[in-house]
Amino acid sequence: MISYFPKDLSTAQLHSYLLSAVAPRPIAFASTINKEGQPNLSPFSYFNVFSSNPPILAFSPARRVRDNSVKDTLTNIEAVKEVVINVVNFDIVHQMSLSSTEYPSDINEFEKAGLTMLPSETIKPFRVAESPVQFECQVNDIIYLGDNGGAGNLILCEVLKMHIADEVTNPDQSINQEKLDLVARAGSSYYSRAKSGFFEIPKPLKKLGMGVDAMPDHVKNSMILTGNDLGMLGNVEALPKEAEVTSFIEDIKERYPNIAEASHRDKHKLAKNYLSYGDVESAWKLLLS
């Protein structure tokens, strides 16, 4: 493993490491206006949600590494403390990328990227009509993190109104993550498409998982089961009863006739297969047999 103190790297090197390692990052497609009303549209991947009550989003238009200049988005927000944060899905990812071109400040990126300016209802900056979710925000604070190239400028925004497209919602009005089809930013020129990598993990907060430390030694010290496998196994409240284990083994004997006499290693391999399908209960019954 190589190790660095940030001070020993150039800003460009450190920037590259940070953006490659802290990824993927959601994208704030930020729409602002200057004091003359000129629109600006630019994407930022230093972005996330930080509070639900009040609803607070934060993003950071950092100073440019190469010349320490500031971006029009920051200048606009200093003058007009309002912003629309539009989410970026796969349908508009190339238009979003095009809008990041460093056009002069009097150029309208909506027009350059072929995106539609949609009037907001509570603030002056325009929404991106093609974005499936749009947040109209007032800027509560700007935290300047430094004066040198690469320094961030953390913008704290309070959501005043949000708009969600019908086509990305479920019948109960919740957002359908796969229909939303968000994209995220990584290092260099890499992006990721969220729905291609979705998987579900039961939340430990819903129950008190027994934990890895409470497992039988042959399980927690397994040479077959991975850390992720142990994490799944540890997220159960209690182990199956002996009668349940016996019944399960009888049920699978037709498929696995030698299962009762199988070694720990072979049972662990089969349990791992059950875990790959999310069947934690059957995996435990195998491991305890």
Binned at pLDDT 50, 70 and 90, residue 205 comes out as: low
Average pLDDT over the chain reads: 94
pLDDT of residue 208: 83
Domains contained in the chain, CATH given: 6-195 (2.30.110.10), 204-287 (no CATH)
Whole-angstrom distance, CA of residue 144 vs CA of residue 19: 20
Strands (E), the chain: 28-33, 39-44, 47-52, 55-59, 82-86, 117-118, 127-128, 133-144, 153-164, 183-185, 191-193
Residues 74-94: tens digit of each pLDDT? 999 999 999 999 999 999 999
pLDDT of residue 20: 94
Binned at pLDDT 50, 70 and 90, residue 204 comes out as: low
Neighbour count for residue 180 (Cβ, 10 Å): 19
- Residues in the chain, total: 289
The CA distances from residue 250 to 82, 245, 259, 273, in Å, are: 66, 9, 9, 19
Of residues 59, 26, 39, 50, the one with CA closest to residue 123: 39
Q: Is the peptide bond before 54 cis (omega within 30 degrees of 0)?
A: yes
What integer is the mean pLDDT of 209-229? Answer: 92
Residue 242 has pLDDT above 90, yes or no: yes
pLDDT of residue 144: 98
Residue 207 has pLDDT above 90, yes or no: no
Q: Cβ neighbours of residue 226 under 8 Å, at least 6 residues apart?
A: 272
What one-letter code names the amino acid at 239? L
Residues 52-66: tens digit of each pLDDT? 999 999 999 999 999
What integer is the mean pLDDT of 224-244? Answer: 92
